[in-house]
């Protein structure tokens, strides 16, 4: 068995033979032509035919994957009409007396190089679009096809790269998954693959002689296993069946309310740790993001992330969720999440030390930078902000003062922002006990049962020696949850759970009876939780 690693752009398990997509070799040869104007007319005619083909692809993609993802083919048509692009080609034909194929190829290479040199990943990915549309025009000029479409049923399609036009022309009923040596997670091909629900891995250097060999693609880990051993194959077949059952459940539940037999409706959201998890939340039909852990932005860098860096991420998440609520927790480091450049002194008991909101209130410059980015991003979607590790009303009032200062600064600068709900996490016994007072200050509560449990039971959840003593169903914890829910509703605000306990299906009915309005769980638990809610009388 050969294992090859790449980068996942869409999860899933696929088992079947590999088929390597053979592209036509549209080798372009420079030729001297006698009549430049006649060659320009030949180029213009080919351009018209290319636009016609792209319109056909646009209509096909629109029917299969929707308007937004089909727009790439409209963009390709606009590229062909771009004056700089057209002028470069026609000028080369006229001044150098070269054939149209060569002029298109050279212009394509020049434009692609410009895009690839840009710092922005999205713009870099547009280089592939330039090559795609140019290859199509060269094919029209030369009278050749672009690539040979797969010949077998049920294959893992492998290619150097897949252009959007190639992807949309594939017969999806015959594709189990695809792998490519090149491409990017920001490419339109990756976007189409996600929309078409096809497991996909990029950056995977498969061998040329793998054509026809049996393989397993793990789209979650980004690994391709060629000629798997019997035991491994059996294990992956079981996982594949689990995924099939999950997809069936998703189709049954998609678009339906999370409502009990007695009519109680509950929001089911997802907890995510980074941007890539957001797509997984959508795949599992989450109603929103109940906990977006913003600290990953800080943990992945060797410097304080700038306002622009944070704004870009928050904006992307908000736009991707397309109006669904995204609750972003402000910086929560300290305890088991240490960052060197914060220069936090070593503590004897970091779980109860300098962490989370305490750092933010102590270092207001860091806090304000994050808040500015969050409020700016709120203009692009339904963002809410959640503050962690609260223990007092005074903390909340100071947070509200800082938040008001940031919003006023943005107004003075003429920067727009949305109507942002601001809530707090209830994860300390202190916050739970005074939740009646805190409820008067905020828009919502989200209960972090992980920390609330360890602080209430005086048990370090990182200490495996104490596992036998840890009881997440302890009456003290459940009583605190009921107290928080009651106080929230008395004040007219909503309350949810974003800790691990929210995914405990043995407690789902208990939480609903407590009056919990929202449960936020890891993306894989969204569907089982939705199913459980609908089974409750």
8 Å CB contact between 446 and 496: yes
β-pairing, 289-293 with 267-272?
parallel
Return the SS3 of 224.
strand
Out of 76, 188, 210, 360, the active site residue is 188
Secondary structure class of 505 (helix, strand, coil)? coil
Write out the H or E segment, with its range, that includes residue 337: none
- Tokens (6 digits) for 231: 């035991």
CB 290 within 8 A of CB 327: yes
Closest CA to 181 of 309, 21, 315, 30: 21
H helix or E strand, kind and range, residue 20: strand 13-20
Q: How much is the CA Rg of the chain, to the nearest whole Å?
A: 27
To the query of whether residue 498 is one of the catalytic residues in this protein, the response is: yes
Alpha-carbon gap, residue 138 to 319, rounded angstroms: 36
Give the span between the Cα atoms of 393 and 88, in whole angstroms.
Answer: 65
Angle between the 364-377 and 307-321 helix axes, to the nearest 10 degrees? 30
| Structure tokens, 409 | 């600064």
Question: Rounded to an integer, what distance in angstroms lies between the CA atom of residue 442 and that of residue 436?
Answer: 11
CA-nearest of 305, 293, 386 to 342 is: 305
- Tell me the residue ranges of DSSP E strands in 65-181: 155-159, 175-180
Q: Report the candidate in 130, 176, 183 with the shortest Cα–Cα distance to residue 153.
A: 176
Q: Pick from 463, 505, 456, 494: which is nearest to 478 by CA?
A: 456
Contact in structure between 146 and 24 (CB atoms under 8 Å): yes
Cα–Cα separations (whole angstroms), residue 276 to 5, 186, 283, 305, 481: 18, 11, 11, 18, 31
Tokens, residue 15: 């088992």
The alpha carbon of residue 444 and the mean position of all alpha carbons in its chain are separated, in whole angstroms, by 25
Which member of 76, 210, 360, 498 is catalytic?
498
Active site residue 188: yes
Q: What angle do CA 19, 20, 24 make, to 5 degrees?
A: 130
The answer to whether the CB of 503 falls within 8 A of the CB of 521 is yes
* Of residues 292, 331, 333, 336, the one with CA closest to residue 314: 292
300: left (phi over 0), alpha (psi -120 to 50) or beta: alpha
- Please give the positions annotated as active site: 188, 498
């Amino acid at each position: 068995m050969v294992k090859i690693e790449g980068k996942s752009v869409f999860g899933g398990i696929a088992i079947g033979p590999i088929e390597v997509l053979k592209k036509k070799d549209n080798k372009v040869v420079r030729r001297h032509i006698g009549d430049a104007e006649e060659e320009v007319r030949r180029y213009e005619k080919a351009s018209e035919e290319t636009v016609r083909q792209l319109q056909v692809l646009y209509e096909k993609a629109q029917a299969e994957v929707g308007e937004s993802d089909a727009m790439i083919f409209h963009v390709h048509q606009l590229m062909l009409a771009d004056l700089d692009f057209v002028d470069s080609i026609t000028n080369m034909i006229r001044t150098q007396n070269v054939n149209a194929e060569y002029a298109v190829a050279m212009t394509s290479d020049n434009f692609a190089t410009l895009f690839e040199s840009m710092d922005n990943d999205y713009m870099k990915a547009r280089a592939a679009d330039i090559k795609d549309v140019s290859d199509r025009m060269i094919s029209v000029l030369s009278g050749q096809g672009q690539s040979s479409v797969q010949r077998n049923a049920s294959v893992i399609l492998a290619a150097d790269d897949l252009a959007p036009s190639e992807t949309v022309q594939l017969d999806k009923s015959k594709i189990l998954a695809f792998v490519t040596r090149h491409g990017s997670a920001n490419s339109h091909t990756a976007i189409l693959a996600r929309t078409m629900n096809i497991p996909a891995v990029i950056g995977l250097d498969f061998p040329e002689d793998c054509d026809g060999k049996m393989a397993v693609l793990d789209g979650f880990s980004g690994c391709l296993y060629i000629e798997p051993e019997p035991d491994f194959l059996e294990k992956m077949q079981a996982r594949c069946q689990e995924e099939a059952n999950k997809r069936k459940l998703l189709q049954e539940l998609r678009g339906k309310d999370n409502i009990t037999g007695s009519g109680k409706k509950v929001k089911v959201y997802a907890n995510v740790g980074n941007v890539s998890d957001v797509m997984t939340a959508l795949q599992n039909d989450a109603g929103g993001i109940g906990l977006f852990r913003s600290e990953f932005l800080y943990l992945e860098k060797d410097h304080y992330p700038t306002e622009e860096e944070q704004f870009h991420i928050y904006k992307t998440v908000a736009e991707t969720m397309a109006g669904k609520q995204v609750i972003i927790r402000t910086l929560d480091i300290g305890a088991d999440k240490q960052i060197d450049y914060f220069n936090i002194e070593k503590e004897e008991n970091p779980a109860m030390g300098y962490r989370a909101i305490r750092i933010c209130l102590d270092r207001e410059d860091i806090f304000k930078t994050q808040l500015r980015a969050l409020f700016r991003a709120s203009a692009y979607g339904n963002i809410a902000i959640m503050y962690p590790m609260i223990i007092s009303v005074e903390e909340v009032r100071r947070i509200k003062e800082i938040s008001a200062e940031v919003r006023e600064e943005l107004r003075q600068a003429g920067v727009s922002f949305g109507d942002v709900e601001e809530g707090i996490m209830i994860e300390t016994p202190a916050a739970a006990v005074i939740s009646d007072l805190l409820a008067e200050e905020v828009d919502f509560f989200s209960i972090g049962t992980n920390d609330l449990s360890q602080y209430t039971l005086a048990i370090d959840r990182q200490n495996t020696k104490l596992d036998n003593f840890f009881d997440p169903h302890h009456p003290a914890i459940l009583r605190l949850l009921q107290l928080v829910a009651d106080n929230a509703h008395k004040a007219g605000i909503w309350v949810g759970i974003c800790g691990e306990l929210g995914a405990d299906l043995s407690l789902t009915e208990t939480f609903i009876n407590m009056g919990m309005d929202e449960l936020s769980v890891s993306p894989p638990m969204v569907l089982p939780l939705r199913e459980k809610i609908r089974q409750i009388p």
